[in-house]
A = this chain, B = another copy of it.
Amino acid sequence: MGGVHAPTTSTELRLHNLTRLLRAVHAGGGELTRSQLTRELGLARGTATVLVSELAAAEMVLERPPADRPRGRPTHLVGPHPRGPVALAADLREDSWSITAAALGGASETLECRHHTAGLATDVLAELSGALRRRMAELDGRVVGIGISVPASVRDGRVVDAVHLGWHDVDLVSLLRLDGHPLVRLGNDATLAALAEARRGALRGVGLGLHLHVSLGVGGALVVGGRPLTGARGMAGEFGHLPLAGDPGQACACGSRGCWDLDVGANALIRHLGQDIPVDRRLDHAERLIALAADGDPASGRAVEIIARAFGRGIGALVNAHDPEAVTLSGLGARLYEAAPQTVTAGCEEALMAFRRQSPAVITASHLGAAAPRIGTAEMVFDAFLTAEGLRTWRTHRITSA
């Protein structure tokens, strides 16, 4: 499920082991030595030699001397090649967009970041499209895929529904005119934040984790074996539209009633204070309100407490249902937890089944911050690229272009 097929022939076996090696390099952040990789993958040293040489010849990895040198013959760190594969990650938000380039191992650099006020105006997309094409040209031949993170439901590469933006069934890939590129992937920002957490954050190595990403509302994903569940149509993780913590009769903009979204997120926080803020400034405003609360402002403080409690209760309910090993929070969720950890925890315990209270799941605020969706987007692209197929493409591409 998702590109990693087991080999059935000896030829595929080679490709499979090359992929495994490359994935290990990527997962290790490009900071593992050749001998570590050899041990980790259970390869013979001779085999490792062949495989690493092949990847180095293809300009995917480069060996460099390590900082510290233990006793015996020195080994080398296997890291990304300076002319190696790059994933471009575009993070499109209600109020801004950015483009980040990530190399094998996950090291990334945000190349460009623009604010906008136009919501989904076509010229915002045109601007982003132009920037992406420019960056691809700059990185001549190194871009193996483009990922786009959007605050919206995504299905089969199309934006199905963006409640807060008023988008419905938009073919973003076509609008960005990236059809020509072989590997373009679209993802929901919360799902991608979960992916980032699974690969580079607190859910690393966790069998079953739950990640919640709070922005205007609440989204997230169950993470199973390092992979967020995306649902049959790529629209899972809409936890905000479970009736977890509030008035079951209250209507939600999504068309249902009693949604958790009505009680948690920037929208809820602002509504609780009776304020009226335009969509494209709500996230910033909500962060400011949480800061105000921390500084002792009573009205903000009360609102934050209410939201934090509702957040906690929903978390408890979700833990009841799914029994995760760990729960991680990103976006506004992390801020909320940092501002009122005891309130969130109390809400959670309140909703937990009694026998689970003895060993509740660990709640952690993500340390990836606002970069989470970007990082996850790059991981999504590398997931698609680090396959037998991707390797073949890279090799033939480099051979023909050289």
Contact = CB atoms under 8 A, between A and B. Distances in A.
Interface of A: 1, 4, 6-8, 10, 13, 16-17, 20, 41-43, 153, 160-161, 168, 206-208, 222, 224-225, 229-239, 241-248, 254-257, 316-318, 320-326, 350-357, 359, 361
A232 B254 contact: no
Given A208-B229, A238-B353, A7 B6 contact: yes
B242 A41 contact: no
A227 B4 CA distance: 17
A342 to B, nearest CB: 19
Contacts of A324: 231-232
A316 B243 CA distance: 11
A303 to B, nearest CB: 20
A22 to B, nearest CB: 14
16 contacts: A1-B225, A6-B20, A13-B13, A208-B232, A222-B229, A230-B323, A232-B324, A235-B356, A236-B322, A238-B320, A238-B321, A241-B320, A243-B245, A245-B248, A254-B353, A256-B353
Contacts of A230: 323
A69 to B, nearest CB: 29
A265 B283 CA distance: 42
A4 B325 CA distance: 22
A255 B323 CA distance: 16
Contacts of A352: 255-256
Contacts of A13: 7-8, 10, 13
B323 A241 contact: no
Contacts of A246: 248
Given A254-B355, A255-B357, 13 more contacts: A4-B6, A6-B6, A6-B7, A8-B13, A8-B17, A160-B355, A231-B324, A239-B321, A241-B321, A242-B318, A243-B243, A246-B248, A248-B248
B244 A243 contact: yes
Most chain B beta carbons < 10 A, residue from A224, A232, A238: A232
A255 B356 CA distance: 10
A245 to B, nearest CB: 8
A351 to B, nearest CB: 5
Contacts of A224: 224, 229
Contact of A355 (B17, B41, B225, B255): B255
B41 A8 contact: yes
B236 A351 contact: no
B317 A232 contact: no
Contacts of A354: 254-256
A351 B256 contact: yes
Nearest to A168: B355
Q: Which 10 A-B pairs have the closest CB atoms?
A: A231-B323, A255-B354, A232-B325, A241-B320, A254-B353, A236-B323, A235-B323, A161-B355, A6-B6, A208-B232
Contacts of A326: 232
Contacts of A1: 207, 225
A213 to B, nearest CB: 14
B153 A355 contact: yes
A317 B355 contact: no
